[in-house]
Amino acid sequence: MTPELMQAMASDPDAMREMLDKALAERVAGNPQLAMMMQLFNQQQAAAPAPERNVRKERLRARVQEMRDELRILRRRNELLAAALGACELCWGDDPECEECGGHGRPGWEEPDRALYRELVSPVVERSTNK
- Inform me whether the pLDDT recorded for 67 exceeds 90: yes
Within-domain flag for 26: yes
Top-confidence residue, 82 or 21: 82
Asked whether the whole model's pTM tops 0.75, one would answer: no
CA dihedral 110, 111, 113, 114 (to 10 degrees): 150
What is the pLDDT, as a whole number, of residue 79? 97
Q: List the domain range (segments joined by +) for residue 15.
A: 1-48
Distance CA 51, CA 76 (A): 38
Within-domain flag for 23: yes
Number of domains in the chain: 1
- Inform me whether the pLDDT recorded for 62 exceeds 90: yes
Confidence of residue 89 (pLDDT cuts 50, 70, 90): very high
Top-confidence residue, 7 or 100: 100
Within-domain flag for 29: yes
